[in-house]
Amino acid sequence: MHVFVTGASGHVGSAVVPELLQAGHRVVGLARSDGSAAALADAGAEVRRGDLDDLDRLRDAAAAADGVIHLAYKHEEMGAGNVAAAVTADLAAIEALASALEGTGKPLVTTSGTAMITFAGITGRPATETDIAPRGSGPRVDAEHQVLGFAQRGVRSSVVRLPPIVHSSLDHHGFAHILIGIARQSGASAYVGDGANRWPSVHTLDAARVYRLALESAPAGSMLHAVADEGIPFRDIAGTIGRGVGVPTASISASDAAARFAFLGALVGVDNPTSSEVTRKVLGWEPAHPGLIEDLEHGHYFARD
């Protein structure tokens, strides 16, 4: 299959591209810089220069492909507080990609996050693939509704929800690194309240396999969870980071979380246990790589130049 991949040189993309190539697919990756283009070429993929704002280029690349995996997102806008700009760009890119696939039955696999489910107000149980928050309630919620709706327009569309922490030695800028950096800077690895709130996680290579399987076989209109660890108490994550950095752990109040964690302040206290039972059955997927705590204990996250 000829597959067009956006975000192909990013953290998850750097695992998805070889996963696809090893399965015999031809990969064309979107690259907005010389460095990204070189990384894709070195991996064995073809390069298409452009970015998410070049909608005509996205449509052309999708039209020429047998399927699309959309991983790119304007994370820099999110980090700068420009949430609306990131959301608008993502919705426009998805529409452009899907419009080129409309009526063909070809697959479009996009990306969201398990944290989006918290906007549905679910409590007391792990969230499932059938749980969807109302439109307008979160940054990627409208995109989820948009993509699932393309199943009615002749696109074999699916959404892969990633957990807050996707971890491995391929991760260089994700939430695990941010939490470690904050612990180093502040002198303590913190959690909110009693730290009993739970975060799901997945190894990058396991997540990459979910994307490939979704491309190959997910039914139209599928919601999928790339989740291995269903829910790790945040105090356990903080404790492992504290030991790795060599600082104590500390409980802080929800009101202090924003000052300590900046844009992550609203997320660190969220309870987000998430099931992947349906995904495992639909795709025949099982995680094969270390969980988050084991991966953190390997030490590579704490190595410094």
Handedness of CA 93, 96, 102, 106 (dihedral sign): negative
User: Bridge-partner residues for 68, per DSSP?
Assistant: 4, 108
Contact residues for 10 (Cβ-Cβ < 8 A; gap 6+): 71, 72
Say what percent of the chain tops pLDDT 90. 90
**What number of other Cβ atoms are within 10 A of residue 118's Cβ?**
20
Average pLDDT (7-22) is 97
**What is the identity of the amino acid at 28?**
V
Q: What is the pLDDT of residues 221-234, one digit of tens each?
A: 999 999 999 999 99
- Where residue 76 falls among pLDDT bands split at 50, 70, 90? confident
Q: Which helix (H) or strand (E) holds 56?
A: helix 55-63
Query: Coil, strand or helix: which one is 205?
Result: helix
- What is the predicted pLDDT for the residue at 203? 98
Average pLDDT (207-222) is 98
Structure token pair of residue 244: 């790795």
CATH 3.90.25 fits 173-201+230-273+290-302, yes or no: yes
- Where residue 193 falls among pLDDT bands split at 50, 70, 90? very high
Please spell the DSSP secondary structure of 42-93, one letter per residue: HHT-EEEE--TT-HHHHHHHHHTSSEEEE----HHHHHTT-HHHHHHHHHHH
CATH of domain 2-165+203-227: 3.40.50.720
Distance from the first to the final alpha carbon of the chain: 40
Of 120-134, 151-165, 190-204, 211-225, least confident by mean pLDDT is 120-134
User: Bridge-partner residues for 203, per DSSP?
Assistant: 167
Q: What is the CA radius of gyration of the chain?
A: 19
Structure token pair of residue 91: 């919705």
Q: Where in the chain is the domain with CATH 3.90.25?
A: 173-201+230-273+290-302
Closest to 248 measured CA to CA, from 184, 175, 177: 184
Model-level pTM? 0.96
Closest to 135 measured CA to CA, from 113, 119, 153: 119
Average pLDDT (18-35) is 96
Q: Where in the chain is the domain with CATH 3.40.50.720?
A: 2-165+203-227
